[in-house]
Every structure is written in structure tokens, then in C-alpha cells.
Amino acid sequence: MKYKFPCSILIILLFGAYVAQVEAQRGRGGRRGGMGGGGNREQFQRMRGQAMALRAFPVERLWSGLSFGIEMPDSQLTIIRPIIQDAWSKRKDILEVASQDKTWNLAKEVLGGLNKEIKNKLDVLLTKDQRGKLKKLMKKTDYSKNLNSR
């Protein structure tokens, strides 16, 4: 019985410490962290625009798919390589300008056009079977689908 009161005090103190820790994790005022608590919405939109621009022309996945995911002779890959190199260079320039000018939506449109241009060139160079395999592979390796769901 003589330990009942000190144990009660200890339990109350532990509970208070737990509540304080939970509140500290949520951020000031009990709000959640991240963008939901009044974060910098403009920064979020800019970062989202940048991600969408990068996704508009996934040249890395395209080259990986062509090089490793599809059976094709080296002679065919040798013809395709300069096309992808040129696209890579153009993409790099577009992204540099967009980064400086903060014009990610425009970059997304331009990169989307570049993606269509490269797709048209590849449609001529690849067989029907190769095009089908590449399309399937590109869909399978697109891990950023949840960006469009917002």
C-alpha cells in the first residue's frame, strides 16, 4: 500500500512524457509535418513540376530497355545509339534551362514532344515485335505512376 501513491505518480509522469513525445513528432501546434501543416506549397508545386518534366521523357529507361531488354543485333543498336545520344543531349539542355528559369511546365511539354519524336524514329527502326516488347518493358518499369494520380 505504501507504494501505491508513488506508482500512480510514476504512471502519470510516464503517460505525460509519452503524450509530449507524440506532440513533438507532429510538429508545433499538434499539426502534422510535411505540406499538410501549412508548408511551402509553392516549393511543393515546383518540385512536382520538376518531377513531371523528368518523367515526360525517360531516356534512361528507354536506352536501358533497348540495350538490355530487347533482343536486337548490334548493327541495329549502333544505328539507334546516335539518336538516343542526341535526345539525351537535348534533354539535358532543356532541363538546364528549366532549372535556371523555373519553367518546368514548359519543359514538360517540350520533353513530351521530344519523346514523341524519338518514338516515331524508333517505330521506323524497330520491328513490330521489338516495339511491342519495348512498350511492355517501359510500362513495367514506370515506377512513378502515382505522380499522375494527384
Residue 82 pLDDT greater than 50, yes or no = yes
Higher-confidence residue of 118 and 150: namely 118
Higher-confidence residue of 45 and 82: namely 82
CA distance 125 to 113: 19
Residues 30-75: tens digit of each pLDDT: 455 554 545 688 888 888 888 888 888 888 889 989 999 898 999 9
Question: Average pLDDT in the 88-113 region?
Answer: 90
